[in-house]
Structure 1
Amino acid sequence: MPPAEAGGGTGGTAAHLALRVALRRLRRQRGLSQRELVRPLHLASHSAIADYESGRRMPPADIVTAYERYFSLQPGELLRLRERAVTERADAEARAALADADAEGRPARAGGRAEPEAVPRSSEATRPPGGARRGAVPRQLPIGTTLFTGRVRDLARLDAMLEETSAPAAAVISAIGGMAGIGKTSLAVHWAHRVRDRFPDGDLYADLRGYHPTGSPLAPDDVLGMFLGALGVARDRMPATMEEQAALYRTLLADRSMLVLLDNARTVEQVRPLLPGSGGCVVLVTSRSRLAGLAAREGAHRIVLDLLTAEESAELLGRSIGRARVEAEPRAAAALAQRCAYHPLALRVAAERVGAHGRPLADTVSELEDRRGRLDVLIPDGDETSAVRAVFSWSYDALPDAARELFRRIGLHDGPDISGPAAAALAGTSGRRAEQLLALLTGAHLLQESAPRRYRPHDLLRLYARERALAEDTEDLRRAATRRLSGWYLHSACAARVALSPGLPPMRPEPVELAVTPMSFAGHAEALAWFEAELPNLVAATAAAESAGLYRVAWQLPTALYGFFDLRKYYAEWVGTHETALRCARHVGDREAEGRILCNIGNAYLPMHRLDDALSAYHKSLAIFREVGYRQGEAKVLGNLGSTYDPLGRWDEAADAHRLSLAIFRDIGDRYGEALTVTNMGEMHFRQQRFAEAAEQHREALAISRAIPDPHGEGRAVSNLCAALSRLGESDDALRYGSEALALFRSLGDRYEEAVLLTRLGDVHEDIAGHEAADECRRLALALFEEIGDDRQAAQVRDLLGA
């Protein structure tokens, strides 16, 4: 059952009262008992319905939507009532908090709200809407730079904005003509760190990638998903549409005092959904665009950054190479700043060259003098890289050949960053050698180490690296680098796939060059962490492989990601990469691959509740598998169709699909598939509350798994048997099977299934020994879910614990 939301007691607001009356009236008009509603609403117990109708808990949005579907109401009819109830409750809590603050003589926060201590955050009655939980305060600001210099007037204007503004305002920080590298982000981050203590509820940060040289800007719904997650919304409680996400985001920020930094925006439309709707929060937006509409409509304060002054440039040089050296050569320092066009990024790169070689400033000025035609002024035609290209070029030219080559290769990589091992594959060299070259590039300020062993260039440097690659390397060399990197990601993903999901069928990835050494993984946690860190790069590698004509890599890579997507539910990336894979499989005419990919796409649509889309994908996949005679795939898709008919209430079709799937698996002698299908049938009957049949099928699956032998299948069968027997009231047998399964999962090191089982054992212990023993199992399950990063399951267990 999805974690329920606190309802604020049995009294509630007027809208909450109307909602619970409506739910009770709908049920009674159909002549249904609360127990009879459990199955169509996909709940585990009728007690949840009792809580919703009594007002003890607010029904989650997905449950309200299920009510609308089941009772054939207009979409949104009940949901709007629920949203009004949530809003009324939040307003009531804010008024109560303010009254408490006034009674105790404590100051109120911006917007008239009490300080955080006024509201007991841990109480069930004050849980935020949307399934969010107030846990750790989000502190997402990136690290500031110790080289920040000047900008006194701009800092003062930001300070004034904070003092004068009681409602959210956006400070739009842009450079002349949308100039890149002028220090917009540095100013915003520096000021945000200075004032972050004024925002007790935390800070949010997102790089919107508005002017990323090779990638697309982040869509608002992508950012909203990240922000809602930081605010405590579990992934399975995330609204489906951007409008719903934005509404929930505004609701959650309505009673918070937070600082939001939106970096590198491209358009007003990219920013507007990310703005809070009420006072108490301050938003900073950095952009190369003017974003005039934001100032006109939202009243944003505009701050236009100029180039550094001569004095500020001298100060930046002093911070970089030491004030003594600048004071010893003041004329040379002034000339160096002029040759760098007083551009902060160019100055930092120039300073690194001076500091690294210990040469006089005058020598560096002479070098720049030879290139003064490209440095004196910015090119008026809008080529914003020209002013610093010369600085980049002599830093680049001073590198060894191998470091220059790696720098050019990184310019071909479209992902946001690159790891040391990936850089080794890109360059076709060893990991140790790659780390040495990366150290040279970071030392020259041509790369920055954004996290341990992860590197990224500044946008301008990324463009410059790509320029050099196009100018110096042949198309064959560039394509070979893309092939090596794509192959490295593919083989590493296949290795991570095996560690993450050992039961999935093996893959036969395209071979890679001997110089490429893929990643290896010790277990589930390592594989999951790698997938999380590399996901944006894996998406980029898929697109790059398609662009380079590496079609087999481009369809195999998303297929290798399937197990990760199924666990983490990153639906946009799941569907997007598989759509690329589908095009590529069709391009090479691989019909079996096309069927596999369509099946995976259907598996994405199913938990998204896009059931018609899921059925369409499954039927296309089924037709292809039957066409090519791939009976194992046919059996799998039939099982998936059965699982899709289930939530539609098409029980006969679900049962027929499972029976056909089982018949094929038995005919081809696939005992693993047979055990899985029998397990699925048992789970279907469990959801139908046909617990005796479910138990019988799990006993059958157990016998097959032991005969194969398949320890993981055996463990799942025993675990499911524990759950079914518990519902049949056979608590002692349920506990015996549960203990057996627990020992098996621990011997296998399968922490996910162990956590699922511990949750079930909590229910068993609640029947036998009471809350204390039950909660101990649930606490162990929670720790495991948190350790492996399963936010959805962790949220459900926290709900059981009341945490």
Structure 2
Amino acid sequence: MVEIRLLGEVAVVVAGRLVDLGPARQRCVWAALAVDVNHVVPVRRLVERVWGEDAPDRVRATLLSYVSRLRQALADADGVALVRRSGGYLLAVDQSAVDLCRFRELWAHARAAEDAGAVALLSEALELWRGEPLTGVAGQWAEDERERLRRERPAAEHDLVDARQRTGRDDGLVPLLAARVVEHPLDERVAAQYLLALHRAGRSADALGHYRLFRARLVEELGTDPGGRLQQLHQRILDADSTLTVTTPTTPTTPTTQSTSTTPIDGVTAVVAVPRQLPAAPPHFTGRNPELATITSLVDGTSGGRTVVISAIAGTGGVGKTWLALTWANQWAERFPGGQLFVDLHGFSPTEQPLTPDAALYGFLTALGTSPERIPVELDTRAALYRSLVADRRMLIVLDNAATSDQVEPLLPGGQASTVLITSRRTLHRLVTRHGAHGLGLDVLTDTEAHALLAHRLGPRRLTDEPAAASDLLAFCQGFPLALGILTARAHTDPDLPLANLAAELRDHGIDALDDADPTTSLPAVLSWSLRGLTPDQRTVFALLGVAPGPDIGLPAAANLAGLPERETRAALRALVDASLIDLGPDGRYAMHNLVRAYATAHAHTLPEDVRLAALRRVVDFYLHTADAAGHLTAPHTASIRPAPPAPDVRPHPLPDQVSAMAWLNTEHPHLLAAQQTAAAHHRHDTVWHIAQTLSALHMRRGHVHDDLAVWQAALDAAAHLADPAKQIRAHRRTGVALTRLGRPEEAVDHLHRALALAGRHHDTDQQAGGHLALAGVWDRLGDARQALEHAGRGLDLFRALDEPVQVANALNSVGWYAARLGDHDTARDHCQAALALHRRHQDHLGEAHTLDSLGYLAHQAGDHREAVRHYEQAVTLRRTLGDSYEVANTLDSAGHPYAALGDHERARAVWREALELYRVQGRHTDAERVRRQLGG
């Protein structure tokens, strides 16, 4: 199903999904075709509509591009086509899919219909209007077209009033026409309708008074008397003409605002009015089209006209919940002839306590026409009266800023015709389970929406004049509407204030730059109100999340941070999610917006220092000891120095096997990096060193070479404060290895020589052997395979003396590799086969994969390409199993050559394409460029 909307925000909806129509001019192209649906619009006219009469010739190419993009956007929309015709373009679609065409068709049918049918047809036609026509389309043509459409709507509205008055459907007309006579003060048709509505509502004196005012205005401004029709109506009202009153309406009527009809309820006689309590629509509302469409679809999609409760326009303070509710409510207010009620429940107010339900009901009942002395005292009776008054009326009720379900439930209407919009910072679960409420969680603005808001408030030129500063403001706010609103208000009130000054203030002061003496325009103050109703433990957890290392957090880490059992921690986190202070992602991890996190961080520094420091110690130790266990599972044959046991209040996450260990390391990688930084900031030097060690295997296998260098440089700085020389030696060696991988061999040599010198001074043979193997890799990078072979041989001799079979196997493979590089195939083969046997005997799959790779290279160099392919394929299989994507890329790169030599060019291309993609992901641009050349050849 396709909907093409022009009577409001220009949009296309396909099967309930909003289609992205692209940038402003492209959207204008769409509108320029849609207003003339199924008619050819000449290119010249299309260009004039979009770019104006003085458009340069080159825009025709741009027009072609826009049409092409629109076709792509509508590719999955059945029944819609953008067709090229001689001299122009045509939008082909069933006209009933276009709201403008449908509106005009219904209006035309209404003019030929009987009065009762005309009411139904005109009501349906006017419900198609969603606001200002062609919203989102700029330019002179759009403004002219908008003006033409603006004239059509009131004409249809006047026809509807005439039809309703002919059939006696006068319900709600007095307040409606009271507003229209203000909008059209000299329109005799509207004046006549208002006089008749007042007379039928029992307010003949008011009708005659309005006629006198209207006649005086006509005489004063136009120098003429009212026309004959209005004069005749005036005389008939003076004569109390009984034929003006329709005594038997065709449908039951709902009492109007000033109706004198009464409803007895539990002994109370209530006069029912039609309230219009909605505040005005927000003036700078931007975006939110999917959310607006969701609300509309929920209201449209309810079967049987049952009450719709949209409880969870929920989100953190300042995210724009009220703006969304009021924007939708104002767009669709006319769909609710029974009236609109609005109340701010002050659930999160800086100066007021939450409004009680009985106080809110008192306001609703008086708005509905109940005399104050007739309003019951008891809450239940008061709520029953309210439900009875609205039971048969189609009303919109907006309950803004609700605190709890208890506050809201008595305000839910009876009957089956009303719609309720509720905004709250909390997710009101009971409304969902007990009342079938629909949830709509509100997130921050998208980048496009945030930019549009900034441009709308400040003007596009101000942004283009300072693009860097504008980007800084957007990056800091990250789509947070209140933050954007505060900044744009400051910039708007001071047009000479450079945006760069605002950006500098944000950099210097962070969230404090968004503080203000007025709590409603202070982001820290607005966020602080969300802490109301939280327990002390929940507030502490919120504050500690602000200082937790990493971008988000899982439940086990959060439990260690809080020092609580997982069950209690989960409950606290759920409360923070319900309060819209944090988000629970589909992966089960908890995160918060950067500005909310900045507020939480500031709040954390109000906690006692020992509480904050103990929490950081626990969570950092949690990451360290879980990562240490993961390291032993993923690299069981790698020698490591174990950290001291964790404190009794630290509970590392259990990891049953190598697969779960690698998965945990992948997920927690950014948090381990952040944990190392936290440890360094608190001078926990031993922890800094051990975190670097636990990350080595992951960094080697995933190709995180830059991260590997960073953690080992931090470990090297920490090792200077430690008494253990082995840690300094390893830090120098690992720093050298990381530099080698980054293609910086000259720097690597310096660190590796330092490692060797320290190892020799402290008689650490194991580190001497490892240092020689690392130096072999550097010399290989420098193109000196002979020097590399010499260092590999020294490493082999030292490991043999230590009787470490796995390390001997690694060294044998290194000697074999460098011998192969020098063309000594016999030596290479002997050493590599010996290495392979040792690795398999000790089940060292990582070393086995390395050796198979060497044997593949050796076989290829010897011309045995099938044997090379066999070894390479075995190596790739092992490396994939181990999650060693860094070396998978290398082996695939190498395997392409024997495939090509065998004439299997398709397979060669396939492995090179995969290697190329891995190189790109790993940031190995030199390798990627080399493989790209291989593919080109």
TM-score (norm 2): 0.45
Please name the residue that 1:452 is paired with.
587
The yes-or-no answer on 1:416 pairing with 2:559 is no
- CA shift for structure 1 position 691: 4.2
Q: Is the 8 A contact 1:642 1:655 kept in 2?
A: yes
Alignment of 1:314-393 (within 5 A): 315=326, 327-330=340-343, 351=401, 353-354=403-404, 358=408, 384-385=514-515, 387=519, 388-393=523-528
> In the alignment, is the contact (CA less than 8 A) between 1:482 and 1:548 conserved in 2?
no
| CA distance in structure 2 between the aligned counterparts of 1:412 and 1:735, rounded to whole angstroms | 51
User: Could you tell me which amino acid in structure 2 is paired with residue 436 of structure 1?
Assistant: A
Aligned pairs for 1:678-717 (under 5 A) are 678-706=812-840, 708=842, 710-717=844-851
Q: Which residue of 1 aligns with 2:563?
A: 428
The CA distance in 2 between the partners of 1:788 and 1:496, in whole Å, is 27
- Rg larger for: 2
Aligned to 2:797: 663
Distance in structure 1 (CA, Å) of the matches to 2:789 and 2:344: 86
Letter in 1 for 2:621: G
3-state DSSP of counterpart to 1:613: helix
The correspondence for 2:694, drawn from 556, 560, 565, is: 560
Say if 2:859 and 2:865, in contact at 8 Å, map to a contact too. Answer: yes
The 2-side partners of 1:570 and 1:744 are apart by: 20
In structure 2, which of residues 760, 764, 787 is the aligned counterpart of residue 630 of structure 1?
A: 764
Kept in 2, the 8 Å contact 1:314–1:334? The answer is no
Cα pair distance change 1:694/1:423, threshold 3 Å: same
SS at match of 2:534: coil
User: What's the counterpart of residue 97 of structure 1?
Assistant: none
Structure 2: runs of 5 or more not aligned: 1-57, 72-130, 143-283, 293-317, 354-397, 412-421, 424-485, 491-508
| Corresponding residue for residue 724 of structure 1 | 858
On the 8 A contact 1:409/1:426 being kept in 2, the answer is yes
Opposite residue 478 of structure 1, the aligned amino acid is R
Equivalent position to 1:600, from 734, 737, 754: 734
Match of 2:612 among 458, 461, 478: 478
AA at the equivalent of 2:578: G
- The alignment-based identity, stated in percent, is 26
Structure 1 residue 443 displacement after superposition: 0.7
- State the AA in 2 paired with 1:427: A
Distance 2:785 2:691 in 1: 35
Q: Is the 8 A contact 1:725 1:733 kept in 2?
A: yes
Give 2:813's aligned amino acid: T
Letter in 2 for 1:648: L
Q: Deviation at 1:638?
A: 1.4
Task: Identify if the C-alpha distance between structure 1 residues 349 and 477 changes in structure 2 by more than 3 Å, giving closer, same or farther.
Answer: farther
Q: Distance in 2 between matches of 1:790 and 1:771?
A: 25
Distance 1:156 1:517, change over 3 A: farther
8 Å contact kept, 1:354–1:360: no
Output the aligned Cα RMSD.
5.4
Q: 1:580 maps to what in 2? A: 714
Q: For the residues of structure 2 that align with 1:736 and 1:310, how far apart are their CA atoms?
A: 62
* Counterpart in the other structure of 2:230: none
SS at match of 2:854: helix
2:762 alignment partner AA = V
Task: Name the CA distance, whole Å, in 1 between partners of 2:399 and 2:601.
Answer: 18
The corresponding residue for 2:676 is 542
Amino acid at match of 2:560: A
CA contact (8 A) 1:106 1:114 kept: no
Between the aligned partners of 1:588 and 1:326, the Cα distance in structure 2 is 75
Q: Letter of the 2:679 partner, please give it.
A: A
Contact 2:852–2:871 (CA<8 Å) still a contact in 1?
Answer: yes
Q: In 1, are the aligned partners of 2:880 and 2:888 still within 8 Å (CA)?
A: yes
- Alpha-carbon separation, structure 2, partners of 1:759 and 1:669: 35
Correspondence for 1:96: none
- Whether contact under 8 Å (2:544, 2:561) holds in the other structure is yes
**Do structure 1's residue 618 and structure 2's residue 752 form an aligned pair?**
yes
1:790–1:605: structure 2 CA closer, same or farther, 3 Å change rule?
Answer: closer
Structure 2 residue corresponding to 1:437, chosen from 572, 575, 591: 572
Aligned equivalent of 1:245: none
CA contact (8 A) 1:639 1:657 kept: yes
In 1, Cα distance between equivalents of 2:671 and 2:883: 29
For the structure 1 residues 694 and 311, does the alpha-carbon distance in structure 2 shift closer, same or farther, using more than 3 Å as the test?
closer
Q: 1:752 to 1:318 in 2, by over 3 A?
A: same
State the Cα distance separating 1:614 from its structure 2 match.
1.0
- Structure 1 window deviating more from structure 2 (378-387 vs 683-692): it is 378-387
Residue 28 of structure 1 corresponds to: none
Paired residues of 2:625 and 2:652 also in contact (CA < 8 A): yes
Higher relative contact order (CA 8 A, sep 6+): 1
Q: 1:740 and 1:460, CA in 2 relative to 1: closer, same or farther beyond 3 A?
A: closer
C-alpha displacement of 1:598:
1.7
User: Would the aligned equivalents of 2:637 and 2:806 in 1 still touch at CA under 8 Å?
Assistant: no
Q: For structure 1, list consecutive stretches of 5 or more residues without a partner in the other structure.
A: 1-104, 119-151, 164-185, 195-306, 341-347, 366-376
Check conservation: 2:786, 2:818, Cα contact below 8 A. no
Quote how far apart the aligned CAs of 1:666 are: 1.4
Q: Give, in whole Å, the separation in 2 of the partners of 1:735 and 1:574.
A: 31
CA distance 1:463–1:721, change in 2 (3 Å): closer
Q: Secondary structure at the match of 1:351?
A: strand
* Cα displacement (A) at 1:662: 1.7
Deviation digits for residues 760-779 of structure 1 (CA, Å, limit 9, x no counterpart):
66654554573466668x49
Paired with 1:679 and 1:115, the residues of 2 have a C-alpha distance of 58
Counterpart mapping for 1:160-179 below 5 A = none
What is the CA deviation profile of residues 729-770 of structure 1, one whole-angstrom value per residue up to 9, with x for unaligned ones?
234554665677688779989888788667666654554573
Mapped partners of 1:564, 1:356: distance in 2: 51
- Shift of the 187–585 alpha-carbon distance from structure 1 to 2, 3 Å rule, reads farther
C-alpha deviation, 1:636, in angstroms:
0.8
Once the two structures are superposed, the pairs formed by residues 200-211 of structure 1 within 5 Å of their partners are: none
Cα distance change on mapping 1:454 and 1:732 into 2, 3 Å = closer
Secondary structure class of the residue paired with 1:446: coil
Distance 2:674 2:828 in 1: 44
Equivalence for 1:646: 780
8 Å Cα contact 1:314-1:337 kept in structure 2: no
For residues 390 and 740 of structure 1, what CA distance do their matches in structure 2 show?
62
Q: State the alpha-carbon separation in 2 of the partners of residues 559 and 672 from structure 1.
A: 19
Shift of 1:528: 4.9
Q: What aligned pairs does 1:175-194 form with structure 2 within 5 A after superposition?
A: none
CA distance in structure 2 between the partners assigned to 1:718 and 1:335 by the alignment:
66
Query: Is 2:596 the partner of 1:461?
Result: yes
CA separation of 1:513 and 1:190: change in aligned 2, threshold 3 A: farther
Q: Distance in 2 between matches of 1:643 and 1:349?
A: 69
Query: Residues 504 and 595 (structure 1 numbering): CA distance in 2 closer, same or farther, change over 3 Å?
Result: same
Provide closer, same or farther for how the CA distance between residues 397 and 729 of structure 1 changes in structure 2, counting only shifts above 3 A: same
CA contact (8 A) 2:530 2:579 kept: yes
* CA distance 1:675–1:784, change in 2 (3 Å): farther
Cα drift, residue 106 of structure 1: 13
Aligned amino acid, residue 681 of structure 1: V
Residue 572 of structure 1 deviates from its aligned partner by 4.1
AA of the residue aligned to 2:714? T
Q: CA offset at residue 596 of structure 1?
A: 1.1
Question: Deviation digits for residues 702-727 of structure 1, max 9, x if unmatched?
Answer: 34435556454345324422331222
